[in-house]
Structure 1
Amino acid sequence: MTQDLDISAEARLFAEETWKSGVKQMVLTVEAAKAAVELTRQYPMSTEPPTRFTERFAVSTEVTTDVRGNEWVVHTATARDRTPERTVMFTHGGGFVLRMSESSWDFLAELITETAARLVIPLYPLAPEGTGEVVPDVVADLAARLIAEEGPERVTLFGNSVGATITLSAAQLLRDRGVPAPRLTALVVPVLDNRYLDPEMAELDELDPFLSPAGCRYFGSLYCGDLPVTDPRVSPMLGDNDHLGRVLLLSGTHDILNCQARKFAAMASGFTGTRLEYHEAPGMIHIWATSDTPEGRAARQTIYRAIRDQP
């Protein structure tokens, strides 16, 4: 089916390499997902930026704890050679159970450069300790502080994968607290409903070389903690999405989460005070937006233009 789509040779090769990598095996079954969580707990990834990042950017770090005693490491990065024009808070993906990959720092370096942003990067506690009962609230606290310091017109909330899930839940909480909506809320391939019940997922699972519903549902159950899976703090599509301001949503059609993105986009015409801009990339897989492909570069430019508030 991929071959019938008008996608670049680079994107086709990227998808093939992702299939060959075997990463999907980690989420094919609940048992595999449990083993993956146990492995990450035995060998936790670093919360420190790599040297190639700190050599280019000025980085400060704040370490705090939440109400459960979980540690949060919050990095703030700026270019050394110019004054930031705006602030972006980026919340990373990883299925709620994985730390941000080292390669993501290269994407964040490009983000700072392309948008002239001060970048705030909260490394939240991972599930099962970090759950929807706490994580979105702390992200909302951080966002509220940035909006108070900078003004809403200078702040963008940006999340990737489950980081976008957390970001949308936090945006709802900000609204409920009476905090002005940020200039932009950017969501790249979010989990919008942690039930993973969409009937279209079975067909998409055959096309997706990265995600599979069984393991992802298990990861999501850890993130739910004691919350019902229908709570908007873990399944934000099921919550109130009015009065969130400008929202950008990106999805690829060879991602099991694409059916959720399409459903959310279809709902958007009924939103009040929320302006959703939906971009769908034919044939693209879950991690395409950060890939070194023409389609990945185009997706990133869409995000950067939105952050700079350019058409």
Structure 2
Amino acid sequence: QRVRQVELDVFGDAEGGRFATPALRDPDAGPVPGMEAPGIKVLHEQDVDYHSTCPALVDCLSAIEAWSDANPDHVPVAVFIQFKDGPLIFDVADQAGVELWTAEAMATLDDEIRSVFDPDDLLVPDDVRGDRATVADAVEADGWPTLGDTRGKVLFAMINGAPYRDRYLELHPDLAEGILFTTGEPGTDGGDVVVASIDDPVTDGERIAELVGAGYLVRTRSDTPGVEAPAGDTARLEAALASGAHWISTDHPGPAGGTGQHDSGYVAELPGFLPARCNPIAAPEGCEDSGVEPRGR
């Protein structure tokens, strides 16, 4: 599918088994495979939406790491982390209790990432900061490391704002020795913010282009559940592509897109079904799409 960005919703499970027997699962079916061992779990909503391809975070990371090893020339892959520790909004009896994402709990996320990836396989805030006081200072003065220096690497960023961002900064002041980049409003939220998550490229397309032109990285969305894909509406996708956002999140990546769920034929992909391309806002003169990731798959 030539995807270069994924989002993982993570729940703490220090002792294991917290999400192994969801409330809506047939009790005769037994525990959900992969949910009984201690460690961070990946699922959308506890008890009701738990059918993850890889229930354990380390398994998800291992799949990414194996693909990266097999394709060492890829552009940096972004893994967006969404910390989840809230109750269900649904009225479900016997809900699984959740563990709060404290600074100490976030340290276990760092540890699990490091257990899978070698340091040279990661692009972390310290790689960007260099000798500058903050990563924002570095991006504004020096820019990001080059594509040539970051091929084959994986970048992690959290989607959450406060209080999760504050807790991670408590653990890693100015993101020193941290794994995750934070997201927010660059230039306003603090010197740690060099990545923005702006979901609506139709309303905020000009702001996305402005941030991209200033050297920040931006994630946006080409579709929302149950809206664009059933209608075959590509206006938001086209706005996302034109905005220059570096990552475009979708529930319907090519080549099949939403064809298995909807009759509209909606597919979100880069022109030419490329894995990456020259940025329409920030690419240097002479950039050619074919050279961004020559052997991408």
TM-score by length of 2: 0.29
| Higher relative contact order structure (alpha carbons within 8 Å, sequence separation ≥ 6) | 1
Structure with greater helix share of residues: 1
Structure with greater strand share of residues: 1
Structure of larger gyration radius:
2
